[in-house]
Every structure is written in structure tokens, then in C-alpha cells.
Structure 1
Amino acid sequence: MREHDNMWPPNLKCLVMLLMLMILNVSGAFVGINVGTDISNVPSAVDIVSILKEKKIQHIRLLNSDHQMLTALANTGIEVMVGVPNDQLLRVGQSRPTAADWINKNVAAYIPATNITYIAVGNEVLTTIPNAALVLVPALQFLQSALLAANLNTQVKISSPHSTDMISKPFPPSTATFNSTWSSIMLQYLQFLKNTGSSFMLNAQPYYDYVRGQGIFPLEYALFRSLNPDSQISDPNTNLFYTNMFDAMVDATYNSMQAMNFTDIPVMVTASGWPWHGAQNEQAANVDNALAYNTNLIRHVLNNSGTPSQPNNQVSTYIFELFNEDLRAGLVSDKNWGIMFPNATTVYTLTFEDMGTTSADSAVLRGTFCVANSSAPPSALKQSLDWACGPGSANCSAIQPGQPCYKSDDIVAVASYAFNDYYHRTQASGGTCNFNSTAMVTSTDPSHGSCIFAGSTGSNGSSGGEASGSISPDNFATQTQLCWLTHLVATLLPILVFL
């Protein structure tokens, strides 16, 4: 065997291992979802896992360590982040044996059947329960020691989610720094992440910054929508342009770490979303904005573009959240961030798969419809209908006399078809379902007979034939790269066996 080894260049093994590592990283960032618990009628763990499978969600964040959920997730392959709730933090952070017991009962007992990959210790501890700040880093260290003892430290990483409120003056991102009140703790926290190869966990919620800003930033900027040339937002110190608030938040975090001399810790966004319903004075909390934000966020994360200052660092993100949490304290909007109701009906439809291979319409809005509000005055509906079929450029051929969606005596049905067509054509570029408050988003398919609305899962109309779409150049290149690397490693792997 020694003679055989000497036949190969000494760096061949390194080359093969590098290629294998490249393959593992081709997929880039992922999008997961938060599963909260402040719900009066929580679905069963088995039902929740069925929903996750149906939606093809491969990463979830549990805000606790629910044993029924961890059992139901066994053998699914879904990657799980479990949480140490804030009310358990003091006990874990003050006692090494308590931390070890927590790991044994909530992590080690379920691996390997349940694919636990991260532990989130507390949630926004420094800004919400500052009296517990001194035990945060000890809790991380005690839990890490327990993972080492259980030989799980390579599979499971530990971190703690922080709010963007930790960052003083987050814009421009290039000058952002962490609040100096927490400098000592943040230094220890960042050193822990560096030592353990963990990520900085960030809860990035542009909704709150947009509302607090009271018009400082345009809504389009918060929703990842195109900005007109007069509204371009740039960092004056770097001349980097920011097309969305999410990227600015992430870059502010990177620069805050850099200000403390840490430059190699990746950012993972543990919560980001938009409320779909609010009180009378919470106008930005509506279905249209929630659908737009989360759809555009998913597309943005999965295209692996990074951020303006960190283009090569993809930002894996967990959507907030799966279910509305009706028991949460606070404003009406605080209870309505879910994409589903607890009874498993859908508020609006999202796809968690890579949308690079599908048309924006079919991938994003399938199962979601923009329809006329039946309580709107007929005159207002007529005005909105005329706009949709005129300046709005909706395809209104199906609602002409003799066509399948024509109804001479039903302005609501006719307007619904036009509104929905416009919405599906333009949502990806900023089109909304509003029409001067005469329309609304619904998940109820209004198709009837041979009148098929865009977005229908059985559509033969404008969206039904586009499900497979054309492959974008970037996505084609990624697929080609993956195939080439896979073939090369397959060729060299037998050699590696003999090295």
C-alpha cells in the first residue's frame, strides 16, 4: 500500500476534498420558518410536520424544545433549531449540571433520528430581559461543554438571537456599532462564536423599522420592491447602493462586528417577516405587504446574492412565522405574522423552493388570488376595472362578451378576473392588490367552469402553463457547475479510497 500511495501527487487528496467541499456549498443559503407556541389551539405535532412536508420546508426553528415536535420530526431529514426559552436561561446560565441536563433531555435524546443542528439560547436577551445579560455567555459555554461531553459539538452549533435594536444608528451600515452598554458581553459572545464556528443570530424585521421611521424610508425599500431613480439609497461612506432594508440590517451587523475586530463570523437571520393584519392605525400590516415581503425575501435569499458589502456571504433566513399566535401580548399586528391559521387554513401562499427555475407568477402566487371586494360601491369597482384593463395592461379578453369569464350582471366577478390578472402579472415588480381599496387577497380559488383564474392550481390560463418556466442564466450556470463538480468527484473518489 505504501508503494501505491507514492504513485500519487501528495496534494491530490486535498484537491479532491476541496472539490467535495465545493459541492456541499453549491446550494448556498436556505429559507426556513419559525414555529411559535403562543396559540390557543395548537395543531398536533404530527399535523405540523405534515404541513412542513407539504410545503417542502426543510429548516425550522422551534422557540422551545417541544418533545412532541422533536419526536414527530424524527426521520424526516428536516433540520431543526431548538430554543432555550428566556424563562429557562437563568437556570441554565447559573449551573453547569443544569445545562448538561438540558442537553441530555432536549438534544442528545433525539439525535440522530431528529436532525437537530442549532440551539438558540434565549431570544433578544440583552434588549428584552437585560437583568439576565450576565448569564447569557455562561449559558452558551455550559451548553457547549455539554455538547462536547456528548460528542455532538460538530453536529450542533450554539448561538443566541439578537434584535437589531442592539445596533446604534444602523444607517449608514458602514458606521454601525453595537450599543456600548453591552460591549463587554458582546465581546465575549463574539469570541464564543468565533471559537465554536457558530453564526451570529439576527432577528431582522424591516416592518418595525419602517413603521418607526414614519416615512424616512419608502415602503418599496422595506418590501424589496424596485425604487425609482430619485429614491436610490446609498451608503455615503462606501458608495454601495441598498435596494432593500433587509440587506442594510445585515450589513450593519457585519460592520458592528468588524468594529469589535471580528470579521469572519457569518450572520444567520433567525426571524424575518411581515404582519398581514393590524389595527386601524397599523395600515402597513396587510396581506398584500406580507405576501410581497416574504415572497421577495425568499427569492432574495435563495438567489445567493449576499449583501452589498458581503456579496460572497449568503444569509440563511427563517421566516417569521408559520402560525398566527393569538396569545401573544401586544398590538393586533403582533398576533398576525403567520402564513397560516392554527386550523391549518392558509392566510396566503408561499413557496419555499428555489424560484430561479420558475416564472415569478406561477412560483410565487399559485394558490393566491386578488379579487374584488363585494362591499365596494359598483361605481368604484367599474373605475378600478377600467384602469386594470386600460393603463394596468391586464389581459381582459376572457371577460369580453361570449368569453368564459364574461358576466354582464356581475361586476364583482368580472372585476375580480381583471384585478387578479393584473396582480399576477405585476406583483413581482411591485404591483399590488389594492385598486383604491376595492380589492383584497384571498386563498379561495374564484375559478368556475371554464373560467380559470391565474394562480389556480388547475389553471390552463396565464399561470398554469408556466410552472416549469425557463431556467435563468445564473441558475443554469449553477446547475452546470454542480453537474461538473459531481462528475469530477465521482471520477476522483475511487482514487481517494486508496490514498
Structure 2
Amino acid sequence: MALMHFLLLLFAVSIVSADEEPFIGVNIGTELSDMPHPTQVVALLKAQQIRHVRLYDADQAMLIALAKSGIQVVITVPNEELLAIGQSNASAANWVSRNVVAHYPATNITAICVGSEVLTTLPNVAKVLVNAIKYIHSALVASNLDRQVKVSTPLSSSIILDSFPPSQAFFNRSLNSVLVPILDFLQSTDSYLMLNIYPYYDYMQSNGVIPLDYALFKPLPPNKEAVDSNTLLHYSNVFDAMVDAAYFAMAFLNYTNIPVVVTESGWPSKGGSNEPDATIDNANNYNSNLIKHVFNKTGTPKHPGTAVSTYIYELYNEDTKPGVLSEKNWGLFDANGVPIYILHLTGSGAVLANDTSNQTFCVAKDGADPKMIQAALDWACGPGKVECDLLLQGQPCYEPDNVIAHANYAFDSYYHKMGNTPDSCDFKGVATITTSDPSHGSCIFPGSLGKNSTFGNFTAPSMNSSSDSSAYSIHSIEMRICSLVMVTGFLILGVVLI
């Protein structure tokens, strides 16, 4: 990717809604020294409520373990098998019979990846890729499964040239002899373009031109937004820009109705000395923000009504994978099913919470008005009858001393006091339920105590009620004064609370 297009990646934002229900899936690699048994893998998937997975092969034991799990499965024709299948219709039929027909419908196979990044990793095999795709599809037709199982091939985003601004993106023309027949096939079979997008590598290769926050989906100030000068569309992250670049590249070849599914995206949690941004915090931020981005039903600036379903790379750290240190550290879990980090999620239910305790918490909603949060905090520690002593100076939950952190504790306390009912985590729209434990240091939230926390027949007033504000306790008044001083201080310093 030319360096010049990165010069325009300094600016970005778009928040839109999608009509389709998007999903988050995970890729399951197997290059582990102690690969969990397939039944253990499926147990972890179920515990995390992951309903979409992609396999890099069609392992029989894994397909059997996934049977009747309710999980939608994408299987793969490995690159090393492409030559045989691309040269023999019979070989393709045998592959489909063995790996699809033998397991469907007990195992809910929804798609087949014919190879992976073939055009960029195995150019000599590219000449048989189209045949392999067509032969696999013909075998599905013969088995009357072509409507149930889509066929496509994952492509690297590196085949898209001049990807920013997206409106002038196009596919590497040297690949058109293969790409055009593939796009013809996808369009005629109502399939989708499979695209692997790695903002981590775009960021690393930009030599500092791409801001880290832009790669991690973090909010940017208006003067840092990326604007496509041709369409005036605004971009808030590398991910959306690459998806739209794919849409524009297809449109350049007159294909305008092929949807995109991102088959790989993620961020490494550990790297060598020359990969300083391969960290747990960055991996957590990227994957958490990606998941929220998908579940918020946010499409892209070009297609705001089109959900971009995505498979995260990947479920496990692969300690035996060759290459640099970061290659081994893209996983959400280690081989024992222990989370590498706890994702910061709200609004995604229990999907990929990296938390098998089934605990839920109530916290302030991202982007909510700080003044509204302050009012809800005052109510919780007053008419809401939450014990807020731990938020006083010198107490375990005083730090960090800001309205968001204090509100998180008060909201969660009220939520558990009221028996974890959805209505008790609203606070006039500034609160939300999450599966990520907000406890920190010695500040342990009520949801972390492992108790039912229903507090008998306790009944607290609704925040919408007109309870007498004189019911506030002394510590609530102290908190209000402290919070007012804190907010005033931040305003003086010019810091915006989020």
C-alpha cells in the first residue's frame, strides 16, 4: 500500500444504523502445543455465547463436536488441497460429501471458504481458484445444499490499491483475470465478498502517519476526522475505510450488490521489541471497540444500512505458530480457556464477554451526558437508598475521583439491590448492563461478590418518582459537593468527561 494514501488517514467519523442484524464470530486456529479437545472448544464457545465460528479446515472431530450446538460454522478448503480440487470435479464432490453432506444439518455449516488469501500468498495456485470455487458449488448443487451453504474465498485487503480515499480505490489490476470471474460467481450465487482486514498492519506500515486512535476505533476530535474529498464521507476508523474501499473497488468493476463479510480482524496482545503497540491494552481496545461497532448495527459511511459482520482473529493464542512474537498472540483465550484480557463491552449481551461467571453489572453508558450522570448519581445515593460510603475520600472506591467511576459503583449497587432487573439499570437512559466487571483494585463492586444481592423485600423509589430530596444522607451531600468541585476543576482544565 503506497505511503501517499496514508497521508489522508489523519481525519474521520460516522455513526449510522444498519437494518440487518450483524454478528460477531471467531476464527479457530489450531497451532497450539496443547490444543483443547473439540468438546472443550465447543464448551467455551457456548459459555461465551459465540454463535458463529470459522475453521481453517474441516476437522471431522470438530464438526462432530459442533453438531446440535446451534453454532453456525464456516469451514475451509485448505490451500494445500486447492490444486487437486481445482483440477477435478470429482475431488470437489468427494470433499463436499465428506465434509458437508456427512455432517449437515446436525452441524450448521453455512459457508465454505475455498482457500485463504490465495491471490497474495499462492499466486501459482490462483489459476485454479475459480475452478475450485465452481466445482465446490456444483457439488453443493448436486446435494441440494447450494441455498444453505454459501461459497466464497477470503481475500487480503492488500489487493485493494489506493484505498484512501475509499472512493478512488481499485483492485490490483494484475489480478483482474481471477477477480472478475470470482465476483461474477459471488453475484450470481448471492454470496458475499470475504475480506481480511488488519488495521494493526496498516498502522504499523504507516510509520506513524495513521494515528493509533484511528486504528483502534477511538473517538477523534473533528479536526482529525478523515474525509473522502470526492464523496465528503467521514471516516472514524481504518476498518470502515477499508470496507468501503472494497465496495468502491467492486463498483469500479461494475459490481454494486455484493455484500462484504470480514473474515478476519483483530489485534495482537504481545509483540517483540519492534512491535511496541502489540499490547494487551491495545488488543482489548481494538476488539472491544470492534465488537461494539458491529453490535451497534453501525454500517459504513458508504453503506450505513448494511451490517458488516466480522470474525475476530482469533479464539486462542497459537504458541507454535511460526513467525514473530505477535503472530502467536492474537487470541482472546489461552489453551486453558482463560481470557488473555477481559473485553470492555456494553450492549453486546454475554457475547464474547470473556467471562464464564454469567455475572452482569450496571454502569454509566458510553457517551452519556456527564450532567445527567451526575444527577443519576445524586439520586442513587439519595432517594435510591444506595450505601455510597465507599465513594467518600479515603475509602476504596473514591479513586478514580470522577463522576463516571462513582456513578458506576452507585448504579451497580442499586442494580443488585433491586435484583438485577433491567428496569433498575436505566437511570433515565444514562446506564447500561454489561458483562465486564468494573471492579478495580480494592474497590469490589456488588456484582463481584457472588451473592444473589436481592436484599429481601427491599423496595426503592423509582428515579422518576418525586421523592423528597431531604432524604439524602450526609455522605451523599459530601459526594455532591466533592463531585461539583471535581467537575468544576475539570472544566477549568478544559478536560471533557466521557
TM-score (norm 1): 0.70
The 2-side partners of 1:204 and 1:396 are apart by 47
The 1-side partners of 2:175 and 2:447 are apart by 49
Whether 1:112 aligns to 2:114 is no
Counterpart of 1:466? none
The 2-side partners of 1:456 and 1:103 are apart by 48
Q: Secondary structure at the match of 1:130?
A: coil
Q: Secondary structure at the match of 2:124?
A: helix
- Of residues 260, 271, 276 in structure 2, which corresponds to 1:267? 260
Counterpart of 1:203? 196
The 1-side partners of 2:359 and 2:281 are apart by 14
The 1-side partners of 2:152 and 2:294 are apart by 21
Contact 1:447 1:456 in 2 (8 A): no
Deviation at 1:174, TM superposition (A): 0.3
Counterpart of 1:486? none
Whether 1:278 aligns to 2:271 is yes
Q: Secondary structure at the match of 1:312?
A: coil
Counterpart of 1:452? 444
Counterpart of 1:177? 170
Q: Secondary structure at the match of 1:271?
A: strand
The number of residues matched between the two structures is 380
Higher helix share: 1
CA deviation string 1:139-172 (max 9, x = no partner)? 0000000000011001000000000111112111
Give unmatched runs, 5+ long, in structure 1: 1-24, 369-394, 407-414, 426-441, 462-469, 471-499
Counterpart of 2:31? 38
Give unmatched runs, 5+ long, in structure 2: 1-17, 362-387, 409-435, 454-462, 464-498
Alignment of 1:420-431 (within 5 A): none
Change (3 A) 1:443 1:452: closer
Counterpart of 1:166? 159
TM-score (norm 2): 0.70
* Amino acid in the other structure paired with 2:218: R
The 1-side partners of 2:83 and 2:142 are apart by 22
CA deviation string 1:475-498 (max 9, x = no partner)? xxxxxxxxxxxxxxxxxxxxxxxx
Deviation at 1:456, TM superposition (A): 3.9
Report percent identity of matched pairs.
47
Alignment of 1:59-208 (within 5 A): 59-208=52-201
When structure 1 is superposed on structure 2, of 107-116 and 295-304 the one drifting more is 295-304
Counterpart of 1:487? none
Counterpart of 1:239? 232
Aligned-residue RMSD, C-alpha: 3.4
Change (3 A) 1:135 1:288: same
Counterpart of 1:292? 285
Q: Secondary structure at the match of 1:131?
A: coil
Contact 1:424 1:454 in 2 (8 A): no
Counterpart of 2:342? 349
Q: Secondary structure at the match of 2:26?
A: strand
* Amino acid in the other structure paired with 1:452: I
Deviation at 1:27, TM superposition (A): 5.6
* Amino acid in the other structure paired with 1:60: V
The 2-side partners of 1:129 and 1:170 are apart by 23
Contact 2:28 2:314 in 1 (8 A): yes
Change (3 A) 1:396 1:270: farther
* Amino acid in the other structure paired with 1:221: Y
Deviation at 1:355, TM superposition (A): 2.8
Deviation at 1:352, TM superposition (A): 8.4
CA deviation string 1:310-355 (max 9, x = no partner)? 1111111001100011122211111100000012111013488953
The 2-side partners of 1:339 and 1:330 are apart by 19
Whether 1:252 aligns to 2:240 is no
